[in-house]
Structure 1
Amino acid sequence: MHIIKKAMEETKMSQGAGMARRWRSACGCVGIDVHCHVAPSQFPSPPGGGVVAGWPSMTPAEACHATVVIDQKPYRTISDACWVAERRIEEMDRAGIAVQALSPMPELFGYWIVVGAARDLVRHVNDVIADMVRHGGGRFVGFGGLPMQDLDLAIAELHRVVVELGFRGVEIGSNINGVPIGDPRFHPFFAEVERLGVAVFVHAVRPAGMDRLVGPAPLQQVLAYPSDVGFAVASVITGGLLAKFPELRIAFSHGGGTFASLLPRLEQGRQVFAAIGDSMPARPSEVARKLYVDGLVFDRDMLRRVVSVFGEDRVMIGTDYPFNFRESDPISRIAEAYDDEDLREALVFRNALNFLGLDEETCST
């Protein structure tokens, strides 16, 4: 345990120094974006050389793009900003972003892939992220993917990305093959995350309710993603996850999804239904303010609502870079919502420092 802590402290100091160098630079970038994705330029062949259901591949597309193919069907066409650090940094400078937390494109979680192959896939993606962090000049920190369908393998990869690769945290899905993350079966994982003191970022993946949508496939991202994230937040609160692991730093994408709308109903339901009240000793609104969320809601008034629900010290920049459906100017969105300079700074970078476990003094001296 001492060796793990020592390695993590050394990583913290080196990454903090890199951030400090960037913040002292002439461009004046200060934002920290906790919601950014990576996809490799290429994928290795499936282990064993055979066909593995769900294993991704990449085919060239026009200009600087490529198409991710899964089970012989095009999944998404993406730009080289997914894997070219220099391209990302140019766009970060234009948006005032000093640091991005790099995490896997959610479809690369591989929860639905046979276990051994899923481990190989996430290790490959994590190694790509680590290489980008190493060559990013202090502009990136890493969030690793994990094969969460097998907790022993997930915890092993958790140790690898934290201790060997120096990542600040991990990214997990809003559900693991349909099981909500607040389910007690994931407690051993969260216990180890809390023990290591690293962050968890929760992103929507393969959401429930797709059969209830009417319209084209992108409605999954537009409507179903926030619904699934809202259920994930609710599962953490109704399942008592933070009561069991009070030091856990866990954040949710897309402003916590629909949870801001669900919270008043949960508060009222706790008073009306004895079974709900008995299962939740603490008020849901109090527990919600122990969680972190990004501010990726595309609306000034909704951003204010998210801040009112989760707290001024718990909301961070999230953009979904480099995908087309993203927040392109998050700092202006915050400035539009708030005049108070201290609150703006909290939302732009201070809250993210706390979530990442990097103290402000280290990153500003």
Structure 2
Amino acid sequence: MRANNQIQACHQCGGIDVHSHVVPENFPAYVGSRLPPEWPSMAVAESCHRHVMISGKVYRTVSDKCWDVTKRLEDLPGMGLGLQLISPMPELLSYWMGSADAQQMLRFLNEQIAAMVAESGGSLIGLGAVPLQDLDLAIRELEYAVRTLGLHGVEIGSNINGMPIGAPALDPFFAACEALDAAVFVHALRPAGMDRLVGPAALQQVLAYPGDVGLAAASAITGNLLLRRPNLRIAFSHGGGTLASLLPRLQEGWAVFPGLRECIAASPAEQARRFFYDTLVFDTPTLRHLVDMFGASQLMVGTDYPFNFHDRTPVERIAAAGFDADTAAALIHRNAQRYLGLERTAP
């Protein structure tokens, strides 16, 4: 079900955005005997917006671009994009629900994403979501999303109810991703450190998200994830968050402390250059630093579209960074093709 015209679209029209989100127009009615308090619902807001309600409170106000494929596609050329990878708004990953309830919600979301992909005529591709609080259910839903719905992989949170993604307990899930050739995109979710911030709730996105993504990526290094799963394609949002600042300390600690050398089976810096990262850092010097740190082959366009806090000129920002033509092309579309396995479906 992975259409070959996706390759043609990204070459003809521009870059590939690997970080954008979907919220459905409405959430499904709960099927069960006891409605979970975290089950989301929609409330009408002004104009074309709606309030996402969780536990009786407004979690976020979103526009119809979250579900309206036509409006989404109208915005892509202005951002220099020809292909966009869509995934659920992270708060919908539902790890805190009972696993059966979460599976019910995520099946609905996965089918909504597949329907948007089908409607787009090859301009959208999708990542699903799985109930990682139950590995057996998660693997079954992953198989359904990839094999039946034709999605290209899965979005996961930076932690699973506090469990780091590098934890050995999650290895069966990553083994399934590897076996299915499914890409994994790690997004910040319910980050640590909120109690240390002073200011409004928006600081969660601005300051706490990068910290949690950095810790998630570091856990994948210290947990030797890609040494166990060498064919796993895993990407980290927000430029890997704080990882670029943590990595020199981790590398030096690996050289100094015998305990770190024993538990981390290969150089942290070398492991980090096997992950993928998006370019969503809002700063060209930082982008150049990430290319120096992680390699020009590992960065891909990310926007966080259609939320208000998104990069509206991602391709222009790469052009402004002064990269040579080959590096710019890698960042704009070639790396994403490799990450998503698109080059293997070319006509």
Q: Please, what TM-score do these two structures have when normalized by structure 1? A: 0.93
Kindly indicate whether the alpha-carbon contact (under 8 Å) linking 2:10 and 2:81 is maintained by their aligned counterparts in 1: no
Question: In the alignment, what sits opposite 1:279?
Answer: 263
Q: Give % identity.
A: 53
| 3-state SS of paired residue (1:88) | helix
* Shift, 1:145, TM fit: 0.7
Q: What does the per-residue CA deviation read over 1:44-81, in whole Å, with 9 as the maximum and x for residues that have no partner?
A: 12222642121000011111100000010000000000
Q: Of 199, 203, 207, which aligns to 2:191? A: 207
Question: In the alignment, what sits opposite 1:135?
Answer: 119
5 Å-filtered alignment, 1:2-81, equals: 11-12=1-2, 15-20=3-8, 22-23=9-10, 28-48=12-32, 50-81=34-65
Confirm whether residue 256 of structure 1 aligns to residue 240 of structure 2.
Answer: yes
Kindly indicate whether the alpha-carbon contact (under 8 Å) linking 2:10 and 2:333 is maintained by their aligned counterparts in 1: no
| 3-state SS of paired residue (2:13) | coil
The residue type equivalent to 2:337 in the other structure is L
Kindly indicate whether the alpha-carbon contact (under 8 Å) linking 1:19 and 1:98 is maintained by their aligned counterparts in 2: no
Confirm whether residue 115 of structure 1 aligns to residue 99 of structure 2.
Answer: yes
Q: What does the per-residue CA deviation read over 1:248-300, in whole Å, with 9 as the maximum and x for residues that have no partner?
A: 10000000000000011001111111100111231111011100000100000
Kindly indicate whether the alpha-carbon contact (under 8 Å) linking 2:19 and 2:303 is maintained by their aligned counterparts in 1: yes
Q: What does the per-residue CA deviation read over 1:133-185, in whole Å, with 9 as the maximum and x for residues that have no partner?
A: 00101001110011010000100000000000001110000000000000000
Q: Of 234, 251, 270, which aligns to 2:254? A: 270
Per mean C-alpha deviation after superposition, the further-off stretch among 92-101 and 246-255 is 92-101
Question: In the alignment, what sits opposite 2:66?
Answer: 82
Q: What does the per-residue CA deviation read over 1:173-222, in whole Å, with 9 as the maximum and x for residues that have no partner?
A: 00000000000000000011111111000000000111111100000000
- Cα separation, 1, equivalents of 2:74 and 2:93: 27
5 Å-filtered alignment, 1:1-365, equals: 11-12=1-2, 15-20=3-8, 22-23=9-10, 28-48=12-32, 50-359=34-343, 363=346
Aligned residues: 347
The residue type equivalent to 2:267 in the other structure is R
Kindly indicate whether the alpha-carbon contact (under 8 Å) linking 1:226 and 1:254 is maintained by their aligned counterparts in 2: yes
Structure 2: unaligned runs, 5 residues or longer: none
- Cα separation, 2, equivalents of 1:94 and 1:291: 29
Kindly indicate whether the alpha-carbon contact (under 8 Å) linking 2:10 and 2:83 is maintained by their aligned counterparts in 1: no
- Cα separation, 1, equivalents of 2:240 and 2:67: 27
Q: What does the per-residue CA deviation read over 1:6-47, in whole Å, with 9 as the maximum and x for residues that have no partner?
A: xxxxx34xx222441x357xxx52100000000100011222
Per mean C-alpha deviation after superposition, the further-off stretch among 45-54 and 92-101 is 45-54
Q: Please, what TM-score do these two structures have when normalized by structure 2? A: 0.98
Kindly indicate whether the alpha-carbon contact (under 8 Å) linking 1:296 and 1:318 is maintained by their aligned counterparts in 2: yes
Kindly indicate whether the alpha-carbon contact (under 8 Å) linking 2:214 and 2:242 is maintained by their aligned counterparts in 1: yes
Spell out structure 1 runs of 4+ moving beyond 3 A: none
Distance 1:209 1:23, change over 3 A: closer
